[in-house]
């Protein structure tokens, strides 16, 4: 389906003082609409805001939004998990080659890839990966030494967290597609260092109170204007965070593949579907203008570009190919999207509910992951139906093993 709802359209645009907001679903909360109306009032938004079918309320800005800006960037729209994204690799294994009980494989992966707040006891990443990151990070911290106080054992921690999962909705999965091919899929971002960079520059933008482009409806929408030192420094930091997140996923995938080689029949990876961000900013051209595109909970879906749209724990996921839809700024959803807060999920569901909803999936089934129960997320089939104009499904994946932080 195409655009289903437009805010600030036609005569209403003047009444609400903002650019149009084009939404690819009708399943959207009132608070998310309020957030989007506030965002639309910023005068440096280019053309319109596009909103994906997995939209829901977010901290600072709405998750599932694609925001093109001219000569300014809003740090809170990128958020604090800079570069969070997905990686998927297809293996030369068939489902029938997997053991009936996957518990030992889950335990072996958990022993090699730290989850939650944990980190490696020693650095696992190659120095050829770490050294360039370290040099670039020093340039950032030399200008902003306050960052060093935001992460305990700063230098050691960011290096040891490379190749770790984190918590929340981050995951590692084994999946089987419609051809019975086995895939490894994971979701993670820039870990503690990304959080520090995000929080630091969001706070700095609020302190600087840039007013070059006029009225700011909410403090969370504080921005850096092109030409300012804050703008240049944030762009440098956010690019670093995005690169770190990319390497974090690569290192995790390397560790997981090594575990699987020790526990499964011989195989080779046959295809890396994608390793991409869904919380990030990039420079792109849309509707004849060079702009900064911030995708907060959305992935790039240019014509022919492969992407990953995961469902909730126990649901289907999809490998997709972009259609390059101009109205979405060549974007699509980054997942199913939450329909229930973490707190409400904990109050609503029981361990029995979790076991029923994750039947057939080797995963944790305890209170520690209750807030990630499938029914706390939107129906992935409905989300996919709402973005038929944005992507084509290439593969449909079903999880058989899921590791959460």
Asked if the model's pLDDT at residue 359 lies above 60, the reply is yes
Which residue is listed with tokens 């230098």?
Answer: 155
pLDDT digits 0-9 by tens, 192-227: 999 999 999 999 999 988 788 888 899 999 999 999
- pTM for this predicted structure: 0.95
CATH number of residue 310's parent domain: 3.90.1860.10
Helices within 210-326 (DSSP H only):
229-263
In a domain, 345, yes or no: no
3-state secondary structure of 351: helix
Tens digit of each residue's pLDDT (9 = 90 or more) over 300-357: 999 999 999 999 887 899 999 999 999 999 999 999 999 999 999 999 999 999 999 9
Task: Give a yes or no: residue 364 inside a domain.
Answer: no
pLDDT of residue 398: 96
What single DSSP character describes residue 362?
B
Does any domain span residue 162?
Answer: yes
pLDDT value of residue 172: 97
Torsion of CA 261, 264, 265, 270, to 10 degrees: -60
Split into its structural domains, the chain has a count of 1
Residue 357 maps to a domain? no
How far is 391 from 393, CA to CA, in rounded Å? 7
Would residue 366 count as lying in a domain?
Answer: no
Q: Which of 120, 170, 278, 334 is catalytic?
A: 334
- Tokens 């849309």 belong to 286
pLDDT of residue 215: 82
Domain coverage including residue 119: 5-339+377-404
Q: How far apart are CA 309 and CA 86, in angstroms?
A: 9
User: Is 278 among the residues known to form the active site?
Assistant: no
Average pLDDT over residues 142-149: 97
The residues near 161 (Cβ < 8 Å, ≥ 6 apart) are 114, 119, 120, 191, 192, 193, 248
Asked whether residue 142 carries a pLDDT value surpassing 70, the answer given is yes
Give the whole-angstrom CA distance, residue 127 versus residue 326: 41
- Residue 13: is its pLDDT beyond 70? no
Indicate whether 355 belongs to any domain: no
Of 398, 399, 339, 333, give the one whose Cα is nearest residue 372.
Answer: 339
End-to-end CA distance of the chain: 34
Q: Which two tokens stand for residue 132?
A: 């360039």
Q: Which residues pair with 290 in a beta bridge?
A: 285
Whether 263 maps to a domain, the answer reads: yes
pLDDT band at 1 (very low <50, low <70, confident <90, very high): low
Residue 362 has pLDDT above 70, yes or no: yes
User: Rounded distance, CA 393 to CA 384, Å?
Assistant: 9
In whole angstroms, what is the distance from residue 373 CA to residue 358 CA? 8
At 290, which helix (H) or strand (E)? strand 289-296
Model confidence over 267-286: pLDDT tens digits? 999 876 689 899 999 999 99
Q: Is residue 297 part of a domain?
A: yes
- The pLDDT confidence band at residue 122, using thresholds 50, 70 and 90, is very high
155-183 pLDDT tens trace: 999 999 999 999 989 999 999 999 999 99
User: pLDDT grade, residue 293 (50/70/90)?
Assistant: very high
Average pLDDT, whole number, for the chain?
94
pLDDT tens track for 24-61 = 999 999 999 999 999 999 999 999 999 999 999 998 88
């Amino acid at each position: 389906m195409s655009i289903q709802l437009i805010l600030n359209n036609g005569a209403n645009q003047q009444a609400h003082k903002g650019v149009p907001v084009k939404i690819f679903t009708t399943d959207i909360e009132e608070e998310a609409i309020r957030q989007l109306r506030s965002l639309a009032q910023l005068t440096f938004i280019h053309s319109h805001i596009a909103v994906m079918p997995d939209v829901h309320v977010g901290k600072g800005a709405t998750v599932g939004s694609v925001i093109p800006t001219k000569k300014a960037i809003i740090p809170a729209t990128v958020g604090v998990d800079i570069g969070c994204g997905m990686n998927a690799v297809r293996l030369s294994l068939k489902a029938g080659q997997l053991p009936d009980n996957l518990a030992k494989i889950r335990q072996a992966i958990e022993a090699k890839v730290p989850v939650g707040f944990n980190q490696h006891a020693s650095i696992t990443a190659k120095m050829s990966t770490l050294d360039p990151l370290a040099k670039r990070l020093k340039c950032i911290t030399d200008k902003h030494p306050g960052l060093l106080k935001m992460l305990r054992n700063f230098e050691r921690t960011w290096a040891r967290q490379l190749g770790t999962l984190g918590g929340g909705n981050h995951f590692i999965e084994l999946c089987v597609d419609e051809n019975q091919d086995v895939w490894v899929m994971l979701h993670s971002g820039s870990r503690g260092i990304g959080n520090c960079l995000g929080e630091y520059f969001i706070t700095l933008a609020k302190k600087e109170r840039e007013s070059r482009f006029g009225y700011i409806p909410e403090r969370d929408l504080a921005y850096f204007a092109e030409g300012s030192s804050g703008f240049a420094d944030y762009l440098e930091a956010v690019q670093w965070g995005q690169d770190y997140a990319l390497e974090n996923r690569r290192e995790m995938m390397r560790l997981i593949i090594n575990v699987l080689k020790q526990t499964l029949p011989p195989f080779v990876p046959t295809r890396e579907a994608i390793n991409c961000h869904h919380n990030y900013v990039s420079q792109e051209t849309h509707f004849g203008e060079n702009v900064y595109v911030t995708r907060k909970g959305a992935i790039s879906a240019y014509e022919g570009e492969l992407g990953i749209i995961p469902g909730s724990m126990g649901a289907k996921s999809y490998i997709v190919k972009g259609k390059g839809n101009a109205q979405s700024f060549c974007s699509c959803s980054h997942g199913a999207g939450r329909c229930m807060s973490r707190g409400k999920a904990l109050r609503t569901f029981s361990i029995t509910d979790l076991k029923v909803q994750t039947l057939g999936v080797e995963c944790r089934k305890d209170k520690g992951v209750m807030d990630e129960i499938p029914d706390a997320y939107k129906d992935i089939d409905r989300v996919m139906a709402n973005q038929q104009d944005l992507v084509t499904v290439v593969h449909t994946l079903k999880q058989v093993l899921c590791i959460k932080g």
